Amino acid sequence: MVLGQPSAAAHTLLRHLHEDGARLLYHGDFDWGGLRIATVLLRSVPWHPWRYTATDYRAVAAANPSLPPLTGTPTEAPWDPALAPALTELGVRVEEETVLDLLLADLA
């Protein structure tokens, strides 16, 4: 897990993995900061969303009625144009820890 913005070393490693044929998947927090981090990473290296779309956000929000409110300045999600409007509509923040069991189940 990377906390905050990935380092230059992380960007370099991911670019090399991509150049060697790796398919990169990404999941981040469903909040404005998380979308910004994901967008910066997407500019550096192509990745595919891993449970990180508007559909995923809506499902997690529906299953977790006590999520904290979404704060901050809105931004776009280039990988899913429906994600930012969904965040605005539902107004809740979903941290990665909330979906950790789902992500781990995908790896099983």
What pLDDT does residue 13 have?
80
Q: Please give the pLDDT value at position 19.
A: 82
| Residue 4 Ramachandran class (φ > 0 left, ψ -120 to 50 alpha, else beta) | left
Contact 68, 93 (CB under 8 A): yes
Q: State residue 8's pLDDT score.
A: 77
The whole-number mean pLDDT for each consecutive block of 10 residues of the chain, a chain of 108 residues, reads 67 77 91 95 92 98 96 97 98 95 94
Show me where the domains of the chain are located: 8-107
Q: What share of the chain is helix, strand, coil (3-state, %, to 5)?
A: 50, 5, 40
CA distances in angstroms from 76 to 38, 72, 88, listed in the order given? 10, 13, 11
